[in-house]
Copies of this chain bind each other. A is one copy, B any other.
Amino acid sequence: MKKSLENVREKCPLVHCITNYVTVNDVANALLAIGGSPIMADDIEETSDITSICNALVINIGTLNQRTIPAMFDAGKTASQLGHPVVLDPVGAGASALRTKTALEIMEKVKPQVIRGNISEIKTLACGSGFTSGVDAAEQDAVTEENLDTAVAFVKEFAKNTGAVIAVTGKIDLVSDAEKCYIIRNGAAQMSRITGTGCQLSAICAAFAAANPDDMCTAVAAAVCAMGYAGQLGVLKMDQKDGNCALRGYIIDALYNMTGDKLSQGAKYEIR
C-alpha cells in the first residue's frame, strides 16, 4: 500500500476525467491532493487528443448526456489503444435505463481495467438485479458481516467475467480481481452525507492504477484504503459546529497530507 501511494506521488499521473458536473471540482482537488494531476475534457472533438497526453482515464456517468456519451466511448477507445488504464464509475446505474445501458456498453466496448461503484450499481451491471436509491446504494443490497462470504464470491466472479478489478464501496469495501479480494474496513458513516466521495475515489483509483501498472488490484485497494482512512481522519477533526461541508474539505486535506507510512498504519484490511 505504501509503495502504491508513493508511486502516485512520484509519477504524478495526468488523469483525463470525463465526469459529472456535480462533483467535478472536488474530483480535481482530490486528484491534486493525492499527487496526481487532472484534466477535464468531454467534447468528442478533443477527447482523443486529451487522452493521448494523459496516463489514465476515468469515465464517470453521473450527468451523462447525448453530447458526452460519444466522447466517453471515443476517449475509452483511445486509452485502450494506448494501454492506459480506464476506470469506470457507473454512477446511478439502475436509476435510469440510459445509465444502465451506457455503463454496460462501456464495459463491453472499452473493457475498463477498473470498475468502482456502490453495491447496487455493481449488482445492476453484474446481474441486472440491483436495487437503487438514486445515486446511493439501497439498504437491501448492502454488504454486511453476515453476507460477506457471498459478497466476496460475487465480486470475484464479476472480476473474473469482466477481466477488471472491481471495487465495491460502502460500509465494508471490497476490491477484487479474479483471484483475491481485499476486504476493507476503513471509512466513516458520515461520508455518505457528502456528495462526491465516490467520484473522487474513482479518479484517485485511475491515478493509482496508472502509477502501479504491475499490480492494479493492490493499487486500487490502496486507493480505497486511502480514501476511507482520510474519511476517518476527517471525522476525527470535526468539531461540534462542523457538518458535511467541513468534513468534505477535511477529507481532501487528509489526502493531501497522506504519506505512504500513514497509509500503511491506517489501512485496515484483510485478503481472502
Give me the interface of A with B, judged by CB distance under 8 Å: 14, 20-26, 28-29, 32-33, 37-43, 45-46, 49-50, 53-54, 62-67, 92, 95-99, 132-136, 193-196, 237, 240-246, 248-250, 252-257
Contacts and interface: CB of A to CB of B under 8 A. Distances in A.
Contacts of A26: 25
Contacts of A132: 53
The oligomer's copy count stands at 3
Contacts of A63: 40-43
The A interface, classified by DSSP as helix, strand, loop or mixed, is mixed
A26 B39 CA distance: 17
Given A63-B42, A96-B41, A96-B46, A29 B135 contact: no
Contacts of A62: 40
B95 A33 contact: no
Given A29-B245, A249-B249, A256-B193, A43 B65 contact: yes
A195 B15 CA distance: 14
User: Closest 9 A-B residue pairs measured CB to CB?
Assistant: A243-B256, A243-B253, A49-B96, A46-B96, A245-B252, A43-B65, A28-B195, A39-B134, A46-B98
